């Protein structure tokens, strides 16, 4: 049993990083996640000797991550949307070189400099690759402060298991809100490193080098095939989702992260009015829990997908049900958060009254 605390999402994430035995954090301040660097600067190196460095930019930060991850260490960075965009080049290299690392995107509203208010508009960027080339991140979408903690530990484990970058896709509201959390106990930092790590050539063994450059097309295709096979394996093993009240459901509300919880509240309100509504919350948004949608679709009159964007995950939901039921979308953008009442209203407008906007 760990410690019970009341913490803000960003602080809980930072504390979990220290406790997970993270070796290094490289980051750059950006609202709404600057508390992470501040918290670590205050706490981390004193407690575990963890390296905490404020880089000159997100571009530098992600490449510092590349270096330290290449040396086989547990490393993490965090940022918010514009900063994550700057990191995409480095992420593509990290994915290609198959280095484990953990990132958190505390998403804010875009495009451009946008707003510092919460958003989910970076879904496509997170789950479809983000940078150049065919690659995937493992993407975890927490919906509570507790999951901000749990997914740090899980994220490091998944990253190391698959030698793949992992992203925690969260938003400014979860980052700022306070909830009860149970913190896991301090884990020791690693003292042994993988045999591929560049920690200095071992006597009698070949040198290690980490690269994403393979000039010969045959070789580069081989690398791509290996990556794709890995992503298939991840899709087979690592799908996580939360399903609520699906047994008798005629309708499903679906959304990820914070919005899923608003959907659950809207579901409670809908059930109070006699509508048989369930909720599906993908916890991993890559790999996407396709099957749960496919399985439930035939019994449904429709799905309402709710997001804080113009409709991104809804495309994956539609692919999952493959026409077996109607999938409608309701979203807010630019830092606006849909309320439970709004979701219920739009559900009734679309599915009960049969109106279109």
Partner 1 sequence: MTQEAIFAGFGGQGVLSMGMILAYSGMLENKEVCWMPSYGPEMRGGTANAITIVSDDYISSPIISRFDSVIALNQPSVDKFESRVKPGGMIIYDSTNILTPPTRTDITIYNVPGSAEAVKLKNIKVLNMLMLGAFVRATKIVKEETITEALKQVLPERYHKLVPLNMEAFNVGTSFVTN
Partner 2 sequence: MSERTYVDIEAELTDQPINFDEDICLAENVVYVKPQTLIDIPMHYCPGCGHSTAHKILMEVVDEMGIQEEIIGVAPVGCSVFAYHYMNVDMQEAAHGRACAVATGIKRIMPEKYVFTYQGDGDLAAIGTAETVHAANRGENILVVFINNGIYGMTSGQMAPTTLPGMVTTTSPYGRDVKTQGHPLYISNLLANLPGVAYVSRHSVHTPNNVRKAKKSLAKALEYQKQGLGFCLVEIVTNCPSNWKMTPKQSNQFVEEKMIPFYPLGDIKVPEGK
Sorted by sequence, the CB contacts under 8 Å of residue 322 that are 6+ apart come out as 294, 297
Contact 130, 137 (CB under 8 A): yes
Contact 79, 2 (CB under 8 A): no
Taking the complex as a whole, how short is the minimal distance between the CB of residue 335 and partner 1, in angstroms? 5
Residue 335 in contact with partner 1, rule: CB under 8 A: yes
Residue (185 or 192) nearer to partner 2, CB? 192
Residue 172 in contact with partner 1, rule: CB under 8 A: yes
CB burial string 232-252: b at 16+ within 10 A, e below = eebbeebbebebbebeebebb
Taking the complex as a whole, how short is the minimal distance between the CB of residue 279 and partner 2, in angstroms? 41
Among partner 1, partner 2, none, residue 180 binds (CB under 5-8 Å by kind): partner 1
User: Rounded CA gap, 278 and 260, in Å?
Assistant: 11
Among partner 2, partner 1, none, residue 57 binds (CB under 5-8 Å by kind): partner 2
Contact 97, 70 (CB under 8 A): yes
Among partner 1, partner 2, none, residue 93 binds (CB under 5-8 Å by kind): partner 2
Residue 73 in contact with partner 2, rule: CB under 8 A: yes
Q: Are strands 241-244 and 178-183 parallel, antiparallel or unpaired?
A: unpaired
Residue 173 in contact with partner 1, rule: CB under 8 A: yes
CA dihedral for 105, 111, 116, 119, sign (positive or negative): negative
With CB under 8 A as the contact rule, the residue among 3, 113, 178, 193 that binds partner 1 is 178
Residue 102 in contact with partner 2, rule: CB under 8 A: no
Contact 22, 156 (CB under 8 A): yes
Taking the complex as a whole, how short is the minimal distance between the CB of residue 249 and partner 1, in angstroms? 16
The residues in 114-153 that bind partner 1, with binding defined as CB under 8 A, are: 117-118
DSSP 88-136: HHHHHHHHHHT--EEEEEEEB--STT--SSB--TTHHHHHS-SSSSS--
Residue with token string 């451009």: 112
Can you read off the two tokens belonging to residue 51?
Answer: 């390296």
Taking the complex as a whole, how short is the minimal distance between the CB of residue 129 and partner 1, in angstroms? 30
Among partner 1, partner 2, none, residue 106 binds (CB under 5-8 Å by kind): none
User: Rounded CA gap, 123 and 209, in Å?
Assistant: 33
Residue (55 or 252) nearer to partner 2, CB? 55
With CB under 8 A as the contact rule, the residue among 7, 75, 103, 167 that binds partner 2 is 75
The residues in 27-66 that bind partner 2, with binding defined as CB under 8 A, are: 51, 53, 55-57, 59-61, 63-66
Can you read off the two tokens belonging to residue 113?
Answer: 């400099």
The region of 107-115, 193-201, 268-276, 297-305 touching partner 2 under the rule CB under 8 A is 193-201
Alpha carbon distance, N-terminus to C-terminus of the chain: 51
Bridge partners for 279 per DSSP? 244, 253
Residue 6 in contact with partner 1, rule: CB under 8 A: yes
Among partner 1, partner 2, none, residue 203 binds (CB under 5-8 Å by kind): partner 2
Query: Site residues (CB under 8 A) for partner 2?
Result: 23-24, 26, 51, 53, 55-57, 59-61, 63-71, 73, 75, 89-90, 93, 97, 198-203, 207-213
Query: Site residues (CB under 8 A) for partner 1?
Result: 4, 6, 117-118, 172-173, 176-180, 258, 261-262, 264-266, 268, 335-342
């Amino acid at each position: 049993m760990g410690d019970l605390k009341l913490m803000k999402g960003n602080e809980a994430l930072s504390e979990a990083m220290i406790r997970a035995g993270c070796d290094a954090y490289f980051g750059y301040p950006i609202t709404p996640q600057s508390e992470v660097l501040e918290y670590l600067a205050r706490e981390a190196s004193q407690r575990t000797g963890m390296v905490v460095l404020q880089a000159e930019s997100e571009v530098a930060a992600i490449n510092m991550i590349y270096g330290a991850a290449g040396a086989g260490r547990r490393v993490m960075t965090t940022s918010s949307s514009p900063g994550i965009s700057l990191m995409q080049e480095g992420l593509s290299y990290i994915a290609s070189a198959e280095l484990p690392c953990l990132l958190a995107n505390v998403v804010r509203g875009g495009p451009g400099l946008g707003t510092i208010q919460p958003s989910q508009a970076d879904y496509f960027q997170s789950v479809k690759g983000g940078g150049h080339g065919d690659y995937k991140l493992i993407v975890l979408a927490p919906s509570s402060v507790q999951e901000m903690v749990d997914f740090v530990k899980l994220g490091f484990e998944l990253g190391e298991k698959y030698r793949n970058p992992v992203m925690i896709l969260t938003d400014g509201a979860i980052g700022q809100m306070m909830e009860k959390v149970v913190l896991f106990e301090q884990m020791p930092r690693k003292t042994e490193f993988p045999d591929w790590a560049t920690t200095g050539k071992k006597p009698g063994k070949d040198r290690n080098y980490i690269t994403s450059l393979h000039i010969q097309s045959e070789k580069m295709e081989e690398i791509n095939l290996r990556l794709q096979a890995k992503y298939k394996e991840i899709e087979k093993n690592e799908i996580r989702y939360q399903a609520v009240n699906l047994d008798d459901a005629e309708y499903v509300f679906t959304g990820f992260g914070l919005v899923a919880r608003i959907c659950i509240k809207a579901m409670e309100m809908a059930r109070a009015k006699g509508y048989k509504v369930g909720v599906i919350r993908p916890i991993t948004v890559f790999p996407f829990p396709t099957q749960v949608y496919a399985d439930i679709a035939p019994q449904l009159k429709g799905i309402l997908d709710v997001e804080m964007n113009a409709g991104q995950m809804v495309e994956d939901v539609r692919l999952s049900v493959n026409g077996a039921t109607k999938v409608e979308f309701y979203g807010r953008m630019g830092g606006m958060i849909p309320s439970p009442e709004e979701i219920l209203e739009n559900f009734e407008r679309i599915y009960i009254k049969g109106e279109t906007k």
